[in-house]
Amino acid sequence: MHTDELLAGLRAAGEPTRLRLLALVAQGELTVSELTQILGQSQPRISRHLKLLCDAGLLDRFPEGTWAFYRLAERGPGLELSRALARLMAPQDRGDDPNLSQDLARLAEVKRARQARAEAYFRANAAHWNEIRSLHVPEAEVEGALLTAFAGRPIRQFLDVGTGTGRILELFKGRAERGMGIDLSREMLAVARARLEDAGCSQFQVRHGDMYHLPFAARSVDAISIHQVLHYADEPAAAIREAARVLAPGGRLAVVDFAPHQLETLRDEHAHRRLGFTHDEVAAWFVSAGLVPTKPTELAGDPLTVTIWAADAPAQPASERNAA
């Protein structure tokens, strides 16, 4: 970190409220409204403090509709400084600080309220998942097969497209160093955040995002899952192409979805656009996207069969092979 950047970071952090903000955000990502509630200050004032911390590179801001989530910087020159300051403000080292103790108590209240809202939403919508799950093989069998699809592969960056409740991220807790779940439903993201926090999956994040425009650089993710999502998609092939774009050389994409079926009720009552996919269809999408398909895995159910299609990105992209 250059001297100018260090000085800018220290100036930004050198104010009591901003130090309290760093200590809070170090406990997990929070919104402006949550931070306002915890600190008991006006939203404009909190927003100004957050902007200064973001401008200095100490915090990252992730807009999500009318909300924005803040967390400690994960890259850039402010990464080391933000974490060093957070360590100095750690609760175990600041037990005699009345402001920090009060902030942490209010943070716990905010988290409890968030968890209660998420659980209420999940209870209200649980029938949807349970009804569909009753039509195919047990979920544990599907999850085991998905883990097997990535067996023996080190996973530095994991991406779950259409993460829903965050269950697949939770499943990879012991397999991936870090990861992200993308979903368009803000309600489901609230469920996922609560679930991951409860499961201690601190290496994972969830973000509001579009599977056709993933928030990742090309060739930057070495493991991707698309679990029970493509049957909702208007353009499944485009979703595969976008996943292939961000898949690192040698990385693997696994798609979990239904084999062809005739349950029109899933289309009428649950907004399924497609009634399953054939092996040839999915393989053609993989090949068109520059991936190398592997042998699919079928898990027969009654009446729905779940299939796991996997494909790998070549160790050397086609453009580089051709140039050579």
pLDDT, tens digit, 9 for 90 and up, residues 173-200 = 999 999 999 998 888 888 899 999 999 9
Residue located via tokens 């973001």? 54
The two structure tokens encoding residue 244: 């292939």
| pLDDT surpasses 90 at 313 | yes
Residue 172, Cβ neighbours under 10 Å: how many? 21
Predicted confidence at residue 8, as pLDDT, reads 86
Task: State how far the Cα of 269 lies from the Cα of 297, in Å rounded to an integer.
Answer: 28
Task: State how far the Cα of 123 lies from the Cα of 125, in Å rounded to an integer.
Answer: 5
Quote the pTM value.
0.76
| pLDDT surpasses 80 at 142 | yes
Element (H, E) at 31: strand 30-31
Residue 174, Cβ neighbours under 10 Å: how many? 7
Predicted confidence at residue 122, as pLDDT, reads 63
The two structure tokens encoding residue 21: 């903000």
Confidence of residue 324 (pLDDT cuts 50, 70, 90): very low
| pLDDT surpasses 80 at 322 | no
Which residues have a Cβ under 8 Å from the Cβ of 6 and sit 6 or more positions away? 81
Predicted confidence at residue 196, as pLDDT, reads 93
The two structure tokens encoding residue 165: 């409740």
Lowest mean pLDDT among 110-114, 162-166, 297-301, 310-314: 110-114
Which residue segments constitute the domains of the chain, with CATH numbers given?
A: 3-109 (1.10.10.10), 135-323 (3.40.50.150)
User: In the chain, which residue ranges form alpha helices assigned H by DSSP?
Assistant: 3-13, 16-25, 32-39, 43-55, 79-88, 98-133, 139-149, 167-171, 186-198, 236-246, 264-270, 279-288, 318-323
Which residues have a Cβ under 8 Å from the Cβ of 97 and sit 6 or more positions away? none
247-258 and 306-312 beta bridge pairing: antiparallel
The two structure tokens encoding residue 41: 């200050």
Residues 232-248: tens digit of each pLDDT: 888 899 999 999 999 99
